[in-house]
C-alpha cells in the first residue's frame, strides 16, 4: 500500500483497521499524522451530524411598496406565461415523462413478490382511483407523484413479460385513439380510458397484445371518478 492508497482509505474509512493499512502507518509518519487529523475531524463530524442546523430564511431589506407591486406583477406574468407554455406543450412529452418515470424506478421491474390485494388497493386508493384490478400477478404497486398528481404505478407479470401500468386518471386522451411510443428501450401505448387514460410500457413485449390482456384484468368501478 502506498501513501495515496492509504490516504484514500483513511479519508473514506477513518476507523479502518486493516493489517495492510496498519503496516503502512507504522512506517509512514506523514500518513499516521493524516490519520490522527482525520479521526479528530470525524469526531467533529459525528457531533455536527447529531443536530441538523436550524435553517431560517435570511432577512432581506424591506422593499418599497411600488417595488412590491412590481415584483408581484412580474411574478404573476411569469406564472401566466409558464402556465400557458405548460398547457400548450406538445402531448409527446407525456410519453417522454412516462419513460423517464419508469427509468427512475428500476426496482419496479425486478420485483418478483406478489403484492397483496391490500397493497394494490392502497396504491389505488391513495391516488383516488376507483378501479377493480383482477390480475393476481401484480408484483409492484405504489402511488407515484406524476405530473402534479398521485397516480397508481403497477407492474404486472404478463405473457409478454413484466409490464408497467400507470393509471393516468388526470390525463385525457382523444376517445378511441391509442398513441404508441418507443423510447430508451421501452415501447408503450397510451390508451383512452373511462376516466383519463392508461399507459402501458414494456421492454420487448408486444404492447398491443399487452393492452388486450390488461383490458380483461381492469374494470372501472361504477362510481369511478
Burial bucket for residue 120 (CB in 10 Å: 0-12, 13-18, 19+)? buried
Judge contact between 179 and 190, C-beta under 8 A. yes
Q: Which of 24, 25, 35, 38 binds other proteins (CB under 8 A)?
A: 38
DSSP assigned state of 91: T
Closest approach, Cβ 44 to other proteins, in A, equals 6
Question: If you compute the radius of gyration of the chain from its CA atoms, what whole number of angstroms results?
Answer: 27
Nearer to other proteins, 141 or 207 (CB): 141
Binding window for other proteins (CB under 8 A); candidates: 63-71, 130-138, 164-172, 203-211: 130-138
Which member of 76, 125, 159, 215 binds other proteins (CB under 8 A)? 125
First to last CA, the chain: 66
Site for other proteins in 137-156 (CB under 8 A): 144-146
Among 34, 109, 140, 181, which residue sits at the site for other proteins (rule: CB under 8 A)?
34
Pick the piece of the chain touching other proteins (CB under 8 A) from 47-55, 65-73, 166-174, 194-202.
47-55
What are 80's three cell numbers? 401566466
Closest CA to 207 of 167, 166, 172, 160: 160
Angle at 117 between CA 114 and CA 118, to 5 degrees: 115
**CA 33, CA 21: separation in Å to the nearest integer?**
13
Q: Is 48 helix (H, G, I), strand (E, B) or coil?
A: helix
Q: Does 121 bind other proteins (CB under 8 A)?
A: yes
Is 210 among the residues that bind other proteins (CB under 8 A)? no
Binder of other proteins out of 19, 51, 65, 66 (CB under 8 A):
51
Residues at the contact surface with other proteins, assessed by CB under 8 A = 4-5, 7-9, 11-14, 34, 37-38, 41-42, 44-58, 101, 104-105, 117-122, 124-126, 132-136, 144-146
Amino acid at each position: 500500500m502506498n501513501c495515496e492508497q492509504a490516504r484514500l482509505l483513511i479519508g473514506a474509512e477513518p476507523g479502518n483497521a486493516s493489517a495492510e493499512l496498519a503496516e503502512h502507518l507504522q512506517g509512514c509518519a506523514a500518513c499516521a499524522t493524516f490519520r490522527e487529523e482525520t479521526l479528530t475531524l470525524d469526531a467533529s463530524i459525528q457531533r455536527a451530524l447529531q443536530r441538523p442546523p436550524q435553517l431560517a430564511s435570511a432577512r432581506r431589506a424591506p422593499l418599497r411598496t411600488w417595488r412590491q407591486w412590481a415584483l408581484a406583477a412580474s411574478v404573476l406574468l411569469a406564472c401566466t406565461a409558464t402556465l400557458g407554455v405548460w398547457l400548450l406543450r406538445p402531448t409527446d412529452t407525456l410519453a417522454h415523462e412516462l419513460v423517464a418515470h419508469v427509468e427512475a424506478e428500476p426496482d419496479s421491474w425486478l420485483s418478483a413478490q406478489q403484492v397483496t390485494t391490500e397493497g394494490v388497493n392502497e396504491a389505488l386508493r391513495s391516488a383516488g382511483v376507483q378501479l377493480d384490478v383482477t390480475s393476481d400477478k401484480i408484483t409492484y404497486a405504489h402511488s407515484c407523484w406524476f405530473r402534479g398528481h398521485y397516480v397508481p404505478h403497477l407492474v404486472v407479470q404478463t405473457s409478454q413479460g413484466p409490464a408497467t401500468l400507470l393509471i393516468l386518471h388526470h390525463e385525457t386522451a382523444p376517445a378511441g385513439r391509442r398513441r404508441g411510443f418507443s423510447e430508451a428501450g421501452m415501447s408503450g401505448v397510451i390508451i383512452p380510458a373511462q376516466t383519463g387514460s392508461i399507459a402501458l410500457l414494456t421492454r420487448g413485449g408486444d404492447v398491443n397484445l399487452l393492452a388486450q390482456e390488461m383490458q380483461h384484468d381492469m374494470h372501472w368501478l361504477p362510481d369511478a371518478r
